[in-house]
Every structure is written in C-alpha cells, then in structure tokens.
Structure 1
Amino acid sequence: MRILLVEDDAALASAVCSYLEAKAFVVDVTPGLAQARAALAAVQYAAVLLDLHLADGEGLSLLPDVRALRDRPIVIVLTARDQVTDRIRGLDAGADDYLIKPYDPAELLARLRAVERRRSSTSTPVLHFGKLEIDLARDLVRKDGLPVTLTQKEWALLRVMATRPERIHTRENLADALYGFGDEADSNTLEVFISRLRRKLGRSHIQTLRGLGYRLSFSPEEEDE
C-alpha cells in the first residue's frame, strides 16, 4: 500500500514515515501542495495523509485534485485544529477521516485499516482462501493453520491484492506498492516477489493474466502463462 504524506513538519513526517514503513507501507513525503499535486499526477496512491496548514496553502485545497482521480485514494486529514467546525469542513470537502495532532501512530494505522476496509470489496479484515488465511488487521498470514513469515515487501504486495481480491492488478499498480520515490528496482523485481509469494502461499492463489497483470483469487485456477 503506497501512501502520500503531505506534511511540512520534517520531524513528524520522518517519525510517521518510519512507523508506517515498518508496517510494510510505502510512504512518499511532500512538504507542500505543489509537490503533492506532482506526486498525485505521477503515482496511484492508496491513501493521502494530509496536513491542513502548509507553507504554500490550505491543505483542503488539494481535495479537488484527489476527487478528480479515476481511482481515488483514501484521505485522512492530520491537523492540530480540534474544532468540530474544522472537522466538519474537512469531511464535507471529501476527506474520509480526521485525526487530531498529537496522535498515536498506532491509531493512525488503525484508521488507515478501517477506512481501507470500508473502501475495499471485503467486509472483513480476515480473508479465507481455502487453507490460506490472511488477516489484514493484524498483518498475519496462515497456511494450513501455521503462520507464514513474509518480508515487508512481500506483505506490501500481498496487502494490495488481498484488499481487493479477484480484481486484476496491473504491474504498474503493484510496483507502486513496493517502492517510493528514490528507491531503485530492477525491471524483474515484481516477478521475483510474485514468485516468492507463490512459494509461500501456494502457486495457484496468485493468478497471472497475460498482458493484464495479477490477481489473488478465492477460487484458484491454473495461471495463464
């Protein structure tokens, strides 16, 4: 899951980024609106964490740009403004949730997951694929009742597919979940992680659709390779 954090407090941005990256999220940080608009034009984000008071303008002015996107990301407003009227204004403008500073990073993580579930095609954080169980709330995977150990990158990739199972995810969309700005990746990196997940989860659970992408299936079939 790739996130855009729009925050001009460098220390806070660094702390939030470090916490979320440790939870297998990919985070891009921009300190202002101009950089945020450029990032939104270049990358398909799953979520935007938006500070309201930025050096180059009001954070809410970014929401029309977000609403115009074909696959609109979740927006959680992060602000020191604690007036009810401010919260109402943010939600009315199109934000999905609102969190008052200072906040516990664990609460931010819980809000992200809750909004993610509401926006996804699943109504439960625990998904069952035959003998495979994926718990999105606790970042756990079990196969045949036994825990499966995943790296952060493997979990980041699986999370994108598990949040919207049966949907075809393009290579570009999945690659966005793995690497942020400044990260380097070989052209075959995605295939390497797909191969690792198949070995750990069961080959047939991740289907390849030639020329389209990949999907996680409740009813696994042979891949089109």
Structure 2
Amino acid sequence: MSLDLSVDEVLSTTRSVRKRLDLDRPVPREVVLECLELALQAPTGGNAQEWRWLFVENPEKKRAIAEVYRTQQKSLLTGNFARHGDIRDGQMNAMLGSALYLNEHLHEVPVLLIPCVAGRPDGGPPNASAGFWGSLLPAAWSFMLALRSRGLGSAWTSAHLIGDGERHVADILGIPTDGWAQGGLFPIAYTKGTNFKKAMRLPAEEVSSWDSWRW
C-alpha cells in the first residue's frame, strides 16, 4: 500500500534508514518486486540493462554477509572524519551512531539487496567509469524512492566492498567475480513510522555555479 506522498515529498524525505528499520515485520516478496519493477524503468547506458538484483532472505547467508560487513567496516568507524566547519559537522555523531546500530543488527534485517552490473570499471578512463556506474545507480536510487513511497526504508551501504569483502560476499552468494561488480548492500525493511523530515543540507546557492568554477 502506497503512502499519500507527493513526488516532492518522496524526493525530499527519502533518508538513509538504519535505526528505524522494523526488524520484526516481514517484507513480502511481491512488495519488493513491485518496487523493482519501478526501478527498472530508470535509464541505463546504451539501454544495456546489464543489471542483476540479488535479494537475500536466508538467515544464515544474511549472518555471513553481516560478518563480512562488520569486518570491513571497522576501518571506517575507527577512522578520522573530515571536518567542514558547517552544518555537516553537527550531524556526524548521529550518523556514526546510526552506522553502529546497523553494524550490530544487519543480520536481523528482513531482506538484503546486492545490485550487480556486468563488467568491471577498474582502471578504465573517467567516461567509462561514469557510464558504468551510471547504468546502475539511477535504478538503485529509484528503488529506494519506491520503497519510501510504500512505507519501507533502506540505506545505501558499501562497506563490504572494502578490501576482499566483495569477493567474500560473492563466494557466499555464488556471484561470478570475473564478470560482475557489486554496487552496494541495501537493507530492506518497513520503517518504524513513516514521518521523515527533510535533511539539513547546504543551500543550493552555495554548492552551485554558472558557466565557470567559482570555488
């Protein structure tokens, strides 16, 4: 069942949801596939549609993936984060707390998603890398928007891709490592409440320029 949200509301209130994921409420496959059908309408380079969407419900596989995620994420959670001297600094503690929560509970999330795209971007020129990920990321974001419109949430995580984590997850799920790249790891669950606010962002005037670089 879709929420009564305008397009602008969906776009401005789709958050990275971690602490407010409902770990106890089952997520029907038909709802997930409904969201995916919408996401597949996104543009893809050359209309190749060389994407695959691997959903994980099996408890043991989720637990194994979560262990890889925790191992690889250690370097991120214990690292030093850049300070910007603006509103972003005030959000850092909340972001870290949210990340730690997901780190501890990832295996409890009803469904995990790993979107994959054919090929590897490694070592290619900038246009090839941009086109490669540009053939997957619009659809992945559309999927998150579709989840939000139906009272579900997710977070775009990539910690498991650090080091040899991608290979370990590929081994768990049988993903070919020589022909497919993983684009992230998405926890999927209904959210505890559906009232999400706009995030604090730098104003558009501050991050935009016209006709030439001004920073």
TM category (shorter chain) comes to: under 0.3
More helix by share: 2
Higher relative contact order (CA 8 A, sep 6+): 2
More strand by share: 1
TM-score (normalised: structure 2): 0.26
TM-score (normalised: structure 1): 0.25
